[in-house]
Amino acid sequence: MFRGNFTTVISRVLVVVLLFGSVFVATSGQAVAAVGPANGFLVSPVEEELTINKGTSQTVDIAVQNPTNSTVVAETVINDFVASSQENGVPRILLNGDNSPANNFKSLVKPIPNTTLSPQQKQYIPVTISVPANASSGGYYGVVRFIPVLNNNSAANVGLTASVGSLFLITVPGNLIQKLDLVQLSAANNNGNADSFFLSGAVSSMVRLHNSGNIHVEPFGSVVVKNMFGSQVASYQFNNTDPRASILPDSTRKFVNALPSHFWFGHYTIDANLAYVQGSGKIITASAGFWYMPWWSLIVLVVILAVIVYFVRRLVIRRRRHHLQGGKSIPVR
Write the DSSP string, 288-316. Answer: EEEEE--HHHHHHHHHHHHHHHHHHHHHH
Same fold, 16-172 and 180-293: no
**CA 67/CA 52 separation, integer angstroms:** 33
Give the pLDDT confidence score for residue 145 in this predicted structure: 93
> Is residue 287 within 8 Å of residue 272, measured between CB atoms?
yes
Q: Domain boundaries in the chain?
A: 16-172, 180-293
Other C-beta atoms lying within 10 Å of the C-beta of residue 101: 20
Total-model pTM: 0.75
- pLDDT, average across residues 325-330: 57
In CATH terms, the fold of domain 16-172 is: Immunoglobulin-like (2.60.40)
pLDDT digits (tens, 9 = 90+) for 190-240: 999 999 999 999 999 999 999 999 999 999 999 999 999 999 999 999 999
Other C-beta atoms lying within 10 Å of the C-beta of residue 314: 10
Q: Pick the closest to residue 82 from 169, 183, 198, 175 (CA basis).
A: 169
Give the pLDDT confidence score for residue 95 in this predicted structure: 87
Give the pLDDT confidence score for residue 224 in this predicted structure: 98
> Among the CATH numbers 3.40.30.10, 1.10.3720.10, 2.60.40.1180, 2.70.50.60, which is that of 180-293?
2.70.50.60
pLDDT digits (tens, 9 = 90+) for 14-50: 334 433 333 222 222 222 223 333 447 899 999 999 9
- pLDDT, average across residues 49-70: 95
